[in-house]
A and B are shown apart, each in its own frame.
Chain A
Amino acid sequence: MLKHRLIAVIIIRDGQVVQSEKFKHTNVIHYDAFHAVEAFNNWSVDEILLLNVSKNHSSQKKFLEIVKHVSKTCFVPLTVGGYIDSVAYGSSLIFSGADKLVINTLWKSDIETVRSLSGRFGRQCIVASIDVKMNNQNLKEVHVNRGEVNIGRNAVQWAEFCEKNGAGEIFFNNIDHDGNRKGYDTETISKISKKVKIPIIAFGGVFSWKHMLEGLNAGADAVAAANIFHYKEMATKQAKKYLSRQNIKIRI
């Protein structure tokens, strides 16, 4: 039987691993992403997701170097994203050892490039990152450009759009939950999961293993977290033990 996945997210700004809170990245957790990946690889995590959240486009090159370096010791799937704006850069990430590409802003700015990447590497290689945030009318709307630009679409519509245009998976986050320790936005996850046929990864807000259970119960196929995994020794193993005790099918 297919297991649910536990995914460790490593947020990288200018080459350093940072903590994320509502998409602000102030605390440096590690100085070197390599050690973080090595630890997670050893703690039987099911997948590792590296996100480049640097302020500048010029971070592309350094991030590529990091991917090349960490993939040497990463023997679980490695998913990477941030500033993927061309077939050339997406391809260079794949040829440097990434298994999947996370795409966010490009769905809005250049759908043809997304389709080209999906056609070239297969849709299983394309992860649609969808970030929502509450607007001043209390409506959750999709934001791109690291949460800076509201595109005025709701998450379900956007997920369906991405699925139709070559996404193999959805990576969902709610910016108001990000780093906020109150659990995932299960309401939206549940709505998306009823409308799309591709797997959904829940992200943003985990402060207890119970939050992960809630995400899976809401319809997520995989659960992801970042901050919490950095502060507990063997954290991913603890999370899996908890989920397994709750009768969740997970690789131990």
Chain B
Amino acid sequence: MSVIGVVNYECGNIQSVINAIEFLGYEFRLIENKEQLFSCQKVILPGVGAFDYAVDALHSKGLFTALQEWSKEKSNQLLGICLGMQLLCADSDESLENKKGLNLIDAQVLSLSKKIQNDEKIPHMGWNEIKLITNNIFSKEFNNHDFYFIHSYAVFVNNEKHSLAKTAYGDVLFSSIITNGENVHGVQFHPEKSHEYGLNLLKNFITNA
């Protein structure tokens, strides 16, 4: 049985992701350096916290370039969650120092407060539905179901083929699932905190991707 790697950059609550993996009956391995990363074929990049802090933490553990290198091997599967998804992009509005993201998916991370025209609250916090654009490894069973979101920045793809699902908040439509079309995926919501459907989505990543 495959072991699921969980990147630990001491940024926030990764215990929830671990709890979900264990609840589903799989083993996890904490990834804190390059060797540990290359010992796994399925890896989750969780995310809570700030973009700059996360980029620095990945660099300081040697995981930044390691993740770029590791994901070139197409049999390796990566899932970024929330900030972990945003880290897959080239850069982010959130960065105060213009730090670069992993640049694995051609997309931008923009501030929701700049995009939203009306008085919707920021962060976008709570349960919201996803609209699947194409059928994919995350499967159509999730279409129109609610997942738990908590974020102030959102992902906008440069090429629509990289967007697998979208979610509307106020008058803004952002990508809630993205992919590089092969082995790198990201979800803006927290599947590990989205109850039954969230656990099913994680299970699909573990078993199908």
Complex interface bits, B1-21 against A, C-beta within 8 A gives 1, otherwise 0: 000000000011111100110
Q: Is B127 part of the contact surface with A, judged by Cβ < 8 Å?
A: yes
B48 and A77 contact, CB distance less than 8 A: no
Complex interface bits, A36-74 against B, C-beta within 8 A gives 1, otherwise 0: 000001001010000000000000000000000001111
Tell whether A120 pairs with B49 under 8 Å between CB atoms, given A1-B129, A75-B199.
Answer: yes
A124 and B152 contact, CB distance less than 8 A: yes
Interface-side segment among A11-19, A89-97, A203-211: A89-97
Q: Is A178 part of the contact surface with B, judged by Cβ < 8 Å?
A: no
Complex interface bits, B122-148 against A, C-beta within 8 A gives 1, otherwise 0: 111111110000000000000000101
Q: How far does the Cβ of B109 sit from chain A's closest Cβ, in whole Å?
A: 14
Q: Give Cα A199–Cα B150 distance, bound, in whole angstroms.
A: 11
A71 and B15 contact, CB distance less than 8 A: yes
Interface-side segment among B156-164, B175-183, B189-197: B189-197
Q: Give Cα A10–Cα B125 distance, bound, in whole angstroms.
A: 21
A2 and B50 contact, CB distance less than 8 A: no
B123 and A95 contact, CB distance less than 8 A: no
B12 and A122 contact, CB distance less than 8 A: yes
What residues of A have a CB within 8 angstroms of the CB of B199 in the complex? 75
**CB nearest neighbor in A for B123:** A124
Q: Is B169 part of the contact surface with A, judged by Cβ < 8 Å?
A: yes
B49 and A72 contact, CB distance less than 8 A: no
B195 and A76 contact, CB distance less than 8 A: yes
**CB nearest neighbor in B for A197:** B121
Q: Is A3 part of the contact surface with B, judged by Cβ < 8 Å?
A: yes
Q: Is A21 part of the contact surface with B, judged by Cβ < 8 Å?
A: no
Q: Pick the contact of B146: A3, A73, A74, A123 (CB < 8 A).
A: A3
Q: Pick the contact of A199: B121, B190, B192, B193 (CB < 8 A).
A: B121
B150 and A75 contact, CB distance less than 8 A: no
Q: Pick the contact of A5: B22, B120, B126 (CB < 8 A).
A: B126
**CB nearest neighbor in A for B83:** A122
Q: Give the size range of A's interface with the partner.
A: 35 or more
Tell whether A198 pairs with B15 under 8 Å between CB atoms, given A2-B126, A72-B23, A121-B48.
Answer: no
What residues of B have a CB within 8 angstroms of the CB of A41 in the complex? 195
A71 and B19 contact, CB distance less than 8 A: yes
A71 and B16 contact, CB distance less than 8 A: yes
B50 and A119 contact, CB distance less than 8 A: yes
B13 and A75 contact, CB distance less than 8 A: no
What residues of B have a CB within 8 angstroms of the CB of A124 in the complex? 48, 123, 125, 150-152
B124 and A2 contact, CB distance less than 8 A: yes
A46 and B198 contact, CB distance less than 8 A: no
Q: Is A169 part of the contact surface with B, judged by Cβ < 8 Å?
A: yes
Q: Is A160 part of the contact surface with B, judged by Cβ < 8 Å?
A: no
Q: How far does the Cβ of A115 sit from chain B's closest Cβ, in whole Å?
A: 13
Q: Pick the contact of A125: B12, B19, B119 (CB < 8 A).
A: B12
Q: Pick the contact of B13: A72, A95, A123 (CB < 8 A).
A: A95
Q: Which B residues, 48 to 93, have Cβ-Cβ distances below 8 Å to chain A?
A: 48-50, 53
Q: Which B residues, 14 to 56, have Cβ-Cβ distances below 8 Å to chain A?
A: 14-16, 19-20, 22-23, 48-50, 53
Q: How far does the Cβ of A76 sit from chain B's closest Cβ, in whole Å?
A: 6
12 CB < 8 A contacts A-B:
A1-B129, A1-B168, A5-B127, A44-B195, A75-B194, A95-B15, A120-B53, A125-B12, A199-B126, A221-B121, A221-B125, A222-B126
Q: B residues engaging A (CB < 8 A)?
A: 11-16, 19-20, 22-23, 48-50, 53, 119-129, 146, 148-152, 168-169, 190, 192-196, 198-199
Q: A residues engaging B (CB < 8 A)?
A: 1-5, 41, 44, 46, 71-78, 94-99, 119-125, 168-169, 197-199, 221-222, 251
- Apart from A2-B124, A2-B126, A221-B121, 4 more pairs, CB < 8 Å: A94-B48, A99-B193, A120-B49, A124-B151
